[in-house]
Amino acid sequence: MKSFEKYFPYFLVTGILLNANGLLLEILEPDGALYATISKHIALTGDWVNLFGDGHDWLDKPHFPFWISALSFKIFGINAVAYKLPAFLFWLAGIWFTYLLTEQLYNKDTAKVAVIIYVFSLHGLLNNFDVRAEPYLTTLIIAAIYYMYKASVFFKWSYIVLAAFTAACAVMTKGIFVLITIGAGLAIYWMITNQWKQFVNYRWWVMAILILLFITPELYSLYSQFDLHPEKVVFGRTNVSGLQFFFWDSQFGRFFNTGPIKGHGDPSFFLHTTLWAFLPWSIILYIAVYTLIKKGSANGSSKIRWIIYGSALITFLLFSFSGFQLPHYIVILFPHFSMITAAYLLSINKEVTFKRLTALQATLLVIAAVAVNLLVWYSKMGNTLVVAIISIAVVLMILWYFKEKGLNKLIAVSSGICVVLFLFLFNFFYPRLLQYQAGMMAGKYLAENKTPVKSATLNAWSYSFEFYAPGFVEYVDSVQNIDRFIGSDSSAAFYTTVNMLPELIEKGYKFNVLREFGYFHISMLTGGFLNPATREKELEKMALILVKRKGS
């Protein structure tokens, strides 16, 4: 491990800089742009109680991430970096808490390896670019587990308060189900060590009361926005209780598929999702879990690690048997996976095992380099020669500096997979791809040209237009409502489809086309879009127009 100590700072800084690279990109639709518009509404109105998104009162998620990003907007202005920055800072804090907990449950060496694994994980990198709630939630969960562990071993009221506070913030980020992830591991540890009295220990009941106390801002906001206003239409119906949705429908309703938001669960979904989401470490993780099961993990001091094993196991099972599943859900378990994988790597005492695992990861590195170069060559989204030079340079650098077989080479080769992929994605592919996010391009056009009119979407709602256009953006659902929106002004800007223009002419409106844009749903790529020869046919034509009020 002495040689790893030497390389650890370089691995860590490289990983952090690679993740930070995603801060410089614009916000991706749909979810990221939607969340940004909700936070923008808070920042513009100063209303921290009512969430407003998608053109109506919004109930789907709790308030905490929106409060944090709205506060960032207040400080740094309304822009993409200000939206992503607090999530990135939370992610950095997650590295620290992952280190602290791993050090407590294992040792410093395992903690350092776990941190590098966590930093270089595919979906973790994606989440620092396409920011939703996960960077906040992951850190808050691992922090709460850490403080609960400290409170159980070294009883201090400060640990109880910190555990309750971080757990409450996690609840205000995603809902009460996160308490299962936070507490399940410790509960299982108590059971396998016959510490049954812990379940009635007053300190944990005090912690539960503190959590309830700390989430009162969320409960007050939900009650004020929805329970006091049964006339509001939410999910297509009235008499919707925000408190009932928070405590039941948003969590248990999704699990049992009985709530207003439904899905189609597949018990194997997160098995194959983890296989790609936790790349480049996923195969090693599966080997680590298999080894744990085969050897057993209930001997001596290792029982305490059930705080992590139990949390990961119960959460994974809940996700797998839930009626509503999305790939990014699994990210909250990446600190757990990183610890398990790191512990396995440091338990290897056969050179041949390192040799085989390194060969596996080297194969993935070559596949990643080839895939990146084929994609840039086929899609023409980036400079083919520059991408080739960068990817070859990364591979050769790793092979040159890490000649000796062992942990260092394995980690270097594995980390190199993410470096090759995301240097390309963040610096070449996504910047070109985002040009086809037409709402964003139209909103930026209004902002950059300082067009002194209010703006709306005309029968073509776009979250990115709502975020990037200056001020408030309204949704106008038909041509008949244009005059109502323009009001006493002489004109207004509208983002709409080119297909709407003939109807405007027919209704007698005068307008100027400020600019046309090609739109594609870039979070769902197709072969036809990636092919430059057929790309134009795949685009929907959108327009930013300046419409004059009739009679003006």
541: CB partners within 8 A, 6+ apart: 497, 498, 499, 516, 517, 518, 519
Residue 234: which pLDDT band, with cuts at 50, 70 and 90? confident
pLDDT digits (tens, 9 = 90+) for 212-232: 999 999 999 999 999 999 999
Name the band, by pLDDT with cuts 50, 70 and 90, for residue 399: confident
What is the pTM assigned to this prediction?
A: 0.94
Mean pLDDT is lowest, of 54-58, 129-133, 500-504, for 54-58
- Is the separation of the CB atoms in 269 and 325 below 8 Å? yes
**154-170 pLDDT, tens digit each:** 888 999 999 999 999 99
What pLDDT was estimated at residue 549?
83
23-46: average pLDDT: 95
Q: Are residues 443 and 432 in contact, defined by beta-carbon separation less than 8 angstroms?
A: no
What are the domain boundaries of the chain?
Answer: 86-347, 351-434, 437-548
Q: In the predicted model, is pLDDT for residue 262 greater than 80? A: no
DSSP lists the bridge partners of residue 546 as: 493, 512
Which CATH fold topology does 437-548 show? D-Maltodextrin-Binding Protein; domain 2 (3.40.190)
Report pLDDT digits (tens) over 461-517. Answer: 899 999 999 999 999 988 889 999 998 888 999 999 999 999 999 988 999 999 999
pLDDT at 299: 52
Are residues 369 and 395 in contact, defined by beta-carbon separation less than 8 angstroms?
yes
Predicted pLDDT of residue 268: 86
Strands 473-476 and 455-458: parallel
Tell me: the pLDDT tens digits for 325-362?
788 899 999 999 999 999 999 999 888 999 999 999 99
Closest by CA position to 380, among listed 435, 418, 428, 417: 428
